[in-house]
A and B are shown apart, each in its own frame.
Chain A
Amino acid sequence: MIDALGNPQSLLVLGGSSDIATATARRLVQARTRRVVLAGRPSTRLDAAAQLLRGAGADLVEVVPFDAEVTDTHGAVVDQAFAGGDIDVVLLAFGVLGEQAAQERDPSLAVRTAMVNYVGAVSVGLHVGARLRSQGHGVLVVLSSVAGERARRTNFVYGSTKAGLDAFSQGLGDALQGSGARVLVVRPGFVRTKMTAGRKEAPMTTTAEAVAVAITEGIRSGRHTVWVPARLQQVMALMRHLPRGLFRRLAR
């Protein structure tokens, strides 16, 4: 259960080796979280994340194979994760950035980005939503992105998948209203993780640790949206309303 001061006891991560997820999970384990299920594609990275959380004090860390693209397995994955008891927080953290230029040359690469970031998230998100509804409590945290706020020339494939994911998550949150469960949409800007390694940093670049803090505070406060850093909310409010031509030149 999530206690009166906003500390959850159990966590499911979808995309268990994500840097942002690992930082968040560690923070939760340092508070009250004792049981963690890491769902992801089997790898040494995934096992290392499990080991790190055990070291941080989790009593039980389970690793469950999960591939966002293989949607017909999602029901079973979610069942397996919930078989050990209620899950208080589900962190939907998987995602791929993709190479914009390569995706434009080879649309099948863009399809894979869309499959993981949007289709996979819709599939597993609905399975999780149904579970949280029936257990009558819990928070689904979705890693959206500022990239979904307004598509940019330089990464509009990724941006459009996040726009879809963001709209889906808001709608799911509305659907869960009154069920005791809720959805927290997280919109980070540029975060220094393995996903962005080697890319040119944007203004207001932040860290996985800062996103983790924003997520845990969002769970505590009961908000439905958080931006990281928080002042991106105003920046994006402005960006959204810029004339198309101006935005095109600014957001290169």
Chain B
Amino acid sequence: MSDPARTVLTGWGRTAPTSATVLRPRDGDQVADMVRRAGPRGVLARGLGRSYGDAAQDAGGTVLDLTALDTVGVDAETGLAACGGGASLGQVMQAAIPLGWFPPVLPGTRHVTVGGALATDVHGKNHHRSGSFASHVRSMTLVGADGEARRLESADPLSQATAGGMGLTGIVTDLVMSLRPVESSFMQVDTTRAPDLDALMAQLEAADAAHPYTVAWVDCLTGGRRLGRGIVYAGDHAAPADLPEPERAAALRFEPPTGLPAPTWTPAGLLNPHTAAAFNEAWFRKAPRDRRQQLQTISTFFHPLDGVRGWNRLYGHAGFVQYQLVVPFAEGGVVRKVIERLSSARAATVLAVLKRLGASSPGPLSFPMPGWTLTVDMPARGRDLARLLDGLDQLVADAGGRVYLAKDARLRPELVAEMYPRVGEWLELRSRVDPHGCFVSDLARRLGL
């Protein structure tokens, strides 16, 4: 009965393991060949497995680990980057920054592939100005269910269905994206403390008007008067003149730290509500009330979590879920209700982020919409959490908002159509290009996509 070729996979949250045959193609031709040979349980692309839930798993099927397709070519004149679908944004940064170019959109870790970034249409701290990842992708090569590779321009409806399409429209073997120019590998960062949620939201709004990059850490454990207190971080790319003399000569040097490994054992109480509350208190106190124009490296500003390798293991055996919602600006009150429920249930941990998103992208399943987005990590602890999150889903759906599929691991399938009103259009296109459901994932099975 044994089948040694199977590998057990999970997402970054380390929940819901299932097994698949994992293959590692070396080029687009091999990808096409593997798609043609896909068995009855289909095939799916996987990047660096940084989606939190079951998006990059295909139980019983074939999963193509695309990380060998990792070429990156940057045109120093035009700022166009041609990347293999499995190249990471970290690799793009290493190739581009010394030439004075920068990825147009960066999520909170550089360990994601461009294919994964497109398939979930990721947003960064600059979403209010620059939009989502897909809006900077000019063209892509997509291997379809028939095993044919097609070159698609960004306006193509199939290209738009692929942006945020969760890998279910085909496999992106390469793409071309436009980079933005930078003059240094440093950021000028303003840090402001906000004593409560109203102040935090107001400060974040003000920061959006003045800075290309903004984000807030928010305390989801403290209730009462200080409910939703937090810290706003706002950044601008630094000019060489902003750097101290010795740094100026090598202003574009980029050396990301490799990160120290997280301990493999977990002290049981490390992430329980009491220690987390103590951490939050200290974190809040440690932040300056108001500090302007502090120089930080790109890694410190964009990717502090990359400093601890394998930090997701700190949650131990049961793993964790990340819940990310967005609600329209007019429904900002939902953010308060959500934080109230989280803090009274003591469900959240230290990692919680508030951000304002800008305009939506054309992708029918793309997550961003103009509004408030809140992201919270929680240890995966059973029935009570399931009920709590089901309740939050309903608040979000009723407010015309949605949860982010790249983070999801437990949404009630009936809510997908409410949260993503264009899902019908997307399903229709998908059934045309993939009538037999060649591309499938555990997330697709769970949510009926």
List A residues at the B interface (Cβ < 8 Å). Answer: 1-7, 9, 31-32, 86, 129-130, 133-137, 175-176, 178-181, 216-217, 220-222
Of A1, A4, A176, the contact of B445 (CB 8 Å cutoff): A1
B8 proximity list for chain A (CB < 8 A) = 178, 180
Partner of A136, one of B53, B61, B383, B409: B61
Q: Does B446 contact A (CB under 8 A)?
A: yes
Q: Are B410 and A3 in contact (CB under 8 A)?
A: yes
Interface centre among A9, A32, A134, A136 (most CB of B within 10 A): A136
Residue contact B15 to A136, C-beta cutoff 8 Å: no
* Cα(A1)–Cα(B18), bound, Å: 10
Which B residues have a C-beta under 8 Å from some C-beta of A? 1-3, 6, 8, 13, 15-20, 41, 53-54, 58-61, 317-319, 321, 380, 382-383, 385-386, 389, 409-410, 412-413, 442, 445-446
| Chain B residues whose CB sits within 8 angstroms of the CB of A31 once the complex forms | 383, 386
9 contacting pairs across A/B (C-beta < 8 A): A1-B445, A4-B13, A4-B319, A5-B383, A6-B382, A32-B412, A135-B60, A137-B60, A180-B20
Closest residue of B by beta carbon distance from A9: B446
* A180-B17 contact given A4-B410, A136-B6, CB 8 Å threshold: yes
Tell which of A7, A176, A179, A217 touches B410, judged by Cβ atoms closer than 8 Å.
A7
Q: A178 contacts which of B6, B59, B382, B389 (Cβ < 8 Å)?
A: B6
Most B CB contacts (10 A, CB to CB) among A31, A135, A181, A217 go to A135
B3's partner among A133, A216, A222 (CB-CB below 8 A) is A133
User: What residues of A have a CB within 8 angstroms of the CB of B54 in the complex?
Assistant: 1, 4
Expressed in whole angstroms, the Cα–Cα distance for A136 and B445 within the complex equals 13
Q: In whole angstroms, how far apart are the Cα atoms of A180 and B13 in the complex?
A: 17
- The reply to whether B321 and A136 contact each other, CB–CB distance below 8 Å, is no
Complex Cα–Cα for A166 and B18 (A): 25
Quote the shortest CB–CB distance from B57 to chain A (angstroms).
9
Q: A136-B41, A178-B19, A221-B318 are in contact. Are A5 and B410 (CB under 8 A)?
A: yes
A137 and B18 contact, Cβ closer than 8 Å, known pairs A1-B442, A86-B445, A180-B6: yes
Q: Chain A interface secondary structure, helix, strand, loop or mixed?
A: loop
Bound state CA distance, A176 and B18, in angstroms? Answer: 12
Whether B380 pairs with A5 at a CB distance below 8 angstroms is yes
Q: Across the interface, do B321 and A4 meet the contact criterion of CB distance under 8 Å?
A: yes
CB atoms of B16 and A1 under 8 A apart:
yes
Report the bound CA distance from A217 to B384 in whole Å.
12
Q: Tell whether, in the assembled complex, residue A7 and residue B445 are in contact, meaning their CB atoms are under 8 Å apart.
A: no
Q: Which B residues are CB-close (under 8 A) to A3? A: 15-16, 409-410, 446
Max count, chain A CB within 10 A of own CB: residue among B317, B382, B413: B382
Closest B residue, CB atoms, query A32:
B412
Question: Given the complex of chains A and B, what is the CA–CA distance between A217 and B389 in angstroms?
Answer: 18
A132 vs B78: C-alpha distance in the bound complex, in angstroms? Answer: 52
Provide the residues of chain A in CB contact with B19, threshold 8 Å.
136-137, 178-181
- A residues less than 8 Å from B382 (CB atoms): 5-6, 217, 220-221
- Residue pair A4, B380 in contact (C-beta under 8 Å): yes
CA distance A4 to B41 in the complex (A): 21
Which chain A residue lies CB-closest to B60?
A136
Q: Which of A4, A134, A180, A217 contacts B409 (CB 8 A)?
A: A4
Question: Which residues does chain A contribute within 8 Å of B6, judged by CB atoms?
Answer: 136, 178-180
Could you say which residues of chain A place their CB within 8 Å of the CB of B412? 32
Most buried by B among A134, A175, A180: A180
A135 touches B41 (CB 8 A): yes
CB distance from A224 to the nearest CB of B (A): 13
- Most chain B beta carbons < 10 A, residue from A133, A137, A216: A137
B218 to chain A, nearest CB (A): 23
With beta carbons under 8 angstroms apart, the residue of A4, A32, A129, A217 that contacts B16 is A4
